[in-house]
Amino acid sequence: MKYTIISVALIALVFCFTTEANSQVTNPAKKVKEKGVDRTNSGIDRTIDKGYDKLEEGVGNLFRKKDKQENDPETTDESAEKGQPVEAGAQDKGKSGPALSWSKYDFVPGDEVIFEDILAGEENGEFPSRWDLWRGNVEIAELDGEKVIMMRDGSPGIIPYFKDPSGDHLPDIFTIEFDLLYKGEYPFEINLFDRKNQENTSPTGYTEVTVSGNQMRMGTASSEYPDNAKDPDVWRHISIAYTEGKLKAYLDDTRLINIPRLDFNPAGITLHAYHASDENHCYVKNVRIAKGGVKYYDRFMQDGKIIANGIRFDVNKATLKPESMGIINEIFTLMKEHPEISFSVEGHTDSDGDEVSNQSLSEQRAATVVNTLREMGIDAGRMTSKGWGESKPLDSNTTTEGKANNRRVEFVRS
């Protein structure tokens, strides 16, 4: 009799797990909570709640293999044996989404952050406080538990807010980065001038880098991401580098645009979701504009260290974000070409949060960078790691940009 009861219970348990697993596979909807305030055209507050059932952690977690310890010196990788870059985020294999190695990603952010918006302190339904509106309807929303800029309808366009809106906000050397989720049939535009406050100075009229599905375009320059089957429901990372007339643009880990001589001077930025609508929202997050970009070897020879604020991690974790690989690939190449160079890899944080936690986090992040370079083929004896927490700020911790400059990894001559 006991066997009968146990068998029935076991069958029920397996059936329960199977049902849950199937429902997760066939209905991978994202949970979106949007509470919008549309003041642009009507002046009447309205609240929007739209939702789909969010994937809950389920049976997949029961069968997921335990990740190897991040700092295990015995951990090896086939690509490490070949001296090649390894996959960013290898410390967090449980994450959903496409696996990208970013091994050939050569984008390196500017040295000094001049504008950053991570939407800290923003309220759902309000217009993003660090931006100005060119046209349309734009507001803060919550997507999968994370605050994002939602570009709703009216051909929306937004501009980073500067005190002198008509002035030239961009230096001769700068970089732009942000994350984009947009399923629109028509392109998303990154105009390289402020369409509300500045004049279009391009003789051809083309000032925008456009993103449409897997394709990027600027004027007659156009190229398509090699993975044509890439899921349109995933976030894409957009990177643009401008150096005294030369412009490069990247979609995720691949450079798609390379223009040797731009015919106008970029002076500002407008993000424009051309055909966003209530049925086809566009989402933007993690916007950063940075100044400068000196070659790492020259910087190292001049200053004895390389300061990198473009190495990024998940919030309150030591897990590398894929876009960090541009800098790490540069450091890897530098160390391969100059075997005499050794580094102390040193982590720094801003002053947000607990001082003790920041100290520990900075140590863990520095160790992650060292381990990543070691896995790529750099001799561990050429690198040490340490963390300084919030004790050595480069900039003020009272502004968003200052905090961004303080969150950094330094490669110091040792």
Name the domain count of the chain. 2
Residue 289: DSSP 8-state: E
Can you give the CATH number for the domain in which 373 is found?
A: 3.30.1330.60
Residue 30 falls inside a structural domain: no
150, with CB counted inside 10 A (0-12, 13-18, 19+), is buried
299 backbone φψ class: left, alpha, beta (φ>0; ψ -120 to 50):
alpha
Residue 139 and residue 84 share a domain: no
Q: What is the C-alpha to C-alpha distance for residues 128 and 126, in angstroms, rounded to an integer?
A: 6
Residue 141 lies in a domain: yes
Q: What does the pLDDT look like over 122-157, one tens digit per residue?
A: 999 999 999 999 999 999 999 999 999 999 999 999
Kindly state whether residues 311 and 394 are assigned to the same domain. yes
231 shares its domain with 264: yes
Q: What are the start-end ranges of the E strands in 277-407?
A: 282-291, 305-308, 343-348, 383-387
Question: How large is the average pLDDT for residues 51-63?
Answer: 37
Q: 237 pairs with which residues across the strands?
A: 179
Report if pTM > 0.85. no
Count Cβ atoms below 10 Å from residue 305 Cβ, excluding itself: 16
Domain's final residue, options 233, 261, 291: 291
Answer yes or no: do 337 and 407 share one domain: yes
277 and 339 belong to one structural domain: no
127 in the same domain as 228 = yes
- Binned at pLDDT 50, 70 and 90, residue 81 comes out as very low
Report which secondary-structure segment, H or E, holds 138.
strand 131-143
Domain stops at, among 291, 312, 343: 291
Domain final residue, candidates 259, 291, 323: 291
Two tokens, residue 38: 């549309």
Find out whether 67 and 176 touch, Cβ atoms under 8 Å: no
340 lies in the same domain as 191:
no
Per-residue pLDDT of 218-254, as tens digits, reads 999 999 998 777 787 899 999 999 999 999 999 999 9
Alpha-helical regions (H) of 156-282: none
Question: Which strand (E) or helix (H) includes residue 270?
Answer: strand 270-273
Q: For 3, how many CA atoms within 13 A lie in the half-sphere containing its CB?
A: 0
82 and 140 in a common domain: no
Is 368 in contact with 318 (CB distance < 8 Å)?
yes
| Beta strand pairing call for 146-160 and 112-117 | unpaired
Domain assignment present for residue 60? The answer is no
Higher pLDDT among residues 322 and 15, named by residue = 322
User: Would 40 be classed as within a structural domain?
Assistant: no
Select from 414, 388, 413, 393 the least CA-distant residue to 403.
Answer: 393
Same-domain status, 388 and 333: yes
Contact 227, 253 (CB under 8 A): no
What distances in angstroms separate CA 33 from CA 21, 91, 136, 141, 182, one per listed residue?
24, 30, 20, 7, 17
50: nearest Cα among 142, 179, 181: 142
376 assigned to some structural domain: yes
Q: Is 277 helix (H, G, I), strand (E, B) or coil?
A: strand
Here the CATH number for the domain that contains residue 186 is 2.60.120.560
What pLDDT score was predicted for residue 101?
64
- Indicate whether 49 belongs to any domain: no
Residue 46 resides in a domain: no
At residue 117, the pLDDT reads: 96
Q: Note whether 247 and 178 are same-domain residues.
A: yes
* Residue ranges making up the domain that contains 180: 112-291
* In the predicted structure, residue 27 carries a pLDDT above the cut 70: no
Is there a domain that residue 386 lies in?
Answer: yes
Residues 117 and 90 placed together within one structural domain of the fold: no
Task: Clarify whether residues 244 and 287 are in a common domain.
Answer: yes
The span from the CA of 88 to the CA of 102, in Å, is 7
Give the pLDDT band of residue 262 (cuts 50, 70, 90): very high
What is residue 7's predicted lDDT score, i.e. its pLDDT? 40
